[in-house]
Structure formats: structure tokens, C-alpha cells
Amino acid sequence: MRTIEYLTSPELAGLYWPGVVTGMIVGVLGGLLSVLVVLKRLAFIGQGVSHAAFGGVGLAYLLGVTGATRAGAGTLLAIVLGFSVAAALGIAWLSSRRGTRTDTAIGIVLALSMALGFVLLREAGVRAAAAGRAAPPDIESVLFGSIVSVGWGDALVGGAGLLVVGLTMFWLRRPMLFWAFDEEACEAFGAPGARMKLVLLVLLALAVVVTVKLAGVVLATALFVLPGAIALRLSDRLATVVGVSVGAGLVGVLGGLVLSFELNRQGGPMIVLVLIALYALSALAGLVRIRSSAPA
């Protein structure tokens, strides 16, 4: 099996293990956040935030930040994170304006970010060629991810991101769950519903930055939608839903990476295909559960 060879060979292990570790972190991140994303029907918002990272990557490479050094990698991360957070805040601000629907605000930010990303990456390539510098990554790897581009620095950033997301969700679990299940009552009782939406958007932006190298900006959203959708098909108990969602995220990522190794394909699309297969199975299991509990 190629998977065993890649992960045990002295020559190849250092190339693939960072992506595997980052993948496990991403699986847990997706599992934690996707329950709230699905409950609040924010999948399209996640799409807008994830695509914003493409604009951030283009801006970073236009400025000559390649991530080839440790300092450069930190600067690249900061630029992409700042761009993604700005996009999340922009969506929140636009959707709060009278006359602007949430889906319209997301569409505006998504289109702007993707257009900027393409233009800036192309311009960065022209400038790099003229100056004799290394070319920026090809657009396909940014859009769909590449496991070999993931390093131990990305795994460390992912671990820090998971810690921030986990601690924030634990600290704000009561108002966040109140907002997730009953937004109108949340506001009526004085709980900060609007603030919880903003917090979730910022957490999504942070998680996207961790995910984008592995899954790419196009497919990152799947990791913040499908695990929660799978879990909610199988249970309506909160603790079970969160546990199943995290488990589905891990299985999806690790299963996708194994397929990527064995079939010699990009990891991002394989991860999404495994998650979709799990969703199909969960839908079937949910249907069986409903029929078996129905009165004869």
C-alpha cells in the first residue's frame, strides 16, 4: 500500500506526515464548527469566508511574501487571516444594512475575493518572472489544496487554531447554543445573539486559514458543513451530535488522504468525496431510524 510506504519511508515520511497531522486537526475543527454552521444555515457564509482566503493569498504573493522562510510563512498567514476576518466582518456588516439580504452580502464578498485573487496571483507571477524570483503557487493548488505543501509550521498553526476555537466555544457555549437553537428568544432575553454570529464568523475565518493549504479555498467549506450535517442526520442529542460530527470530520479527512495516496490524486477532492459518501450513508441510516420508530 502506498499509504504505508509514504508514512514509513524515511525519505517520504517528512513530506507527508505534516499534512496528515494537520488533516486530523482540520477534521476536529470542522466537526466542532459545522454543527453551528448547519443549525444556523450558514453554509453559504462559510463559502464566502473560505473564498476570501484566495484574495488574501493573491495579495500576499503580490507583496512578495512567499512563505519560503519562517518569517515569511508567519507574514503570509497573517495576511490571509486578516483578509478572511475582514471578509467575515464585511459580510456581517453588509447583511445588517437595511435592504441588503445576507445571501446578497455573501455573494458580493465571494465574487470580489475570487476576482481579486485571480488578478493578484497573475500579477504576482508576472512580477516574479520579471524580477527572477520564484513563481507563486499555481492557481489549482490554491483552489484545491496540496498535501505536500503542508509543513510542520502549518500543523503548529492548526493546533493553535484548534485551541483558540475550542476554548472560545467552551467559554461561550451557553449563549452560543441559546443563539443557535432560538435566535429570537436569545435577543428577547438579552443574550448577545448578534455578537455570537460575529464570533462564529471570526472562528470560521481562523479555521479556513488552517484548512486552505490542505483542502483549498473551493473545498474548505465542505469541512465546515458535511460533518455537522452527517451528525444531525443520526441524532438529535447535542453531546452525541458534537461527538459524531468530530468523528465524521476525522474519518472524512483520514479516509480522503488514504484515497489520495492510493490513487495519486489531490487530497482536497478525495476528502470531500469521502465526506459526501458518509453523508449518503447517514441519510440512509436516518431514514431507517425514522421508519423503525414509526408506529405500525
Parse the chain into domains and list their residue ranges: 2-291
Q: What is the pLDDT of residues 285-294, one digit of tens each?
A: 878 776 776 6
Count CB-CB contacts under 10 A for residue 93.
Answer: 12
Confidence (pLDDT) at 276: 95
Q: What is the pLDDT of residues 85-129, one digit of tens each?
A: 888 888 878 877 766 677 787 888 888 888 988 898 888 888 888
What are the strands, taking DSSP E only, across the chain? none
The model's confidence at residue 164, banded by pLDDT at 50, 70 and 90, is: very high
By residue count, the chain amounts to 296
Q: Mean of the pLDDT values across residues 1-6?
A: 84
Confidence (pLDDT) at 209: 82
Q: What is the pLDDT of residues 12-50, one digit of tens each?
A: 888 899 999 999 999 999 999 999 888 887 777 777 778
Residue 253 has pLDDT above 90, yes or no: yes
Which three cell numbers mark 60?
Answer: 500576499
Q: What residues have CB less than 8 Å from 215, skipping those under 6 apart?
A: 26, 144, 145, 222, 223, 267, 268, 271, 272
> Residue 41, class by beta-carbon neighbours within 10 Å (0-12 exposed, 13-18 middle, 19+ buried)?
exposed
**What is the radius of gyration, based on Cα positions, of the chain?**
20
Q: What is the pLDDT of residues 61-71, one digit of tens each?
A: 888 777 656 66
Q: Which of 220, 197, 257 is nearest to 24 (CA)?
A: 257
Percent of the chain with pLDDT over 70: 91
Please, how many CA atoms are within 13 Å of residue 216, restricted to the half-sphere of its CB?
22
Residue 281 has pLDDT above 70, yes or no: yes
The reported pTM is: 0.85
Rounded distance, CA 32 to CA 34, Å? 6
Confidence (pLDDT) at 190: 66
| Distance from the Cα of residue 56 to its chain's centroid | 15
- Confirm if 183 and 193 have CB atoms less than 8 A apart: yes
Rounded distance, CA 49 to CA 30, Å? 14
∠ CA(166), CA(38), CA(78), 5° rounding? Answer: 45
Read off φ and ψ for residue 295, nearest 5 degrees. Answer: -65, 145
The CATH code of the domain at 2-291 is 1.10.3470.10
Exposed e or buried b for every residue in 198-223, given b needs 16+ CB within 10 A? Answer: bbbbbbbbbbbbbbbbbbbbbbbbbb
Rounded distance, CA 140 to CA 4, Å? 27
- Confirm if 221 and 38 have CB atoms less than 8 A apart: no
- Confirm if 70 and 159 have CB atoms less than 8 A apart: no
Rounded distance, CA 74 to CA 163, Å? 18
- Confirm if 53 and 83 have CB atoms less than 8 A apart: yes
132: alpha, beta or left, given left = phi > 0 and alpha = psi -120 to 50? left
Exposed e or buried b for every residue in 264-288, given b needs 16+ CB within 10 A? Answer: eebbbbbbbbbbeebbeebeeeeee
Residue 220 has pLDDT above 70, yes or no: yes
DSSP 8-state secondary structure symbol assigned to residue 98: T
Residue 273 has pLDDT above 90, yes or no: yes
Residue 152 has pLDDT above 60, yes or no: yes
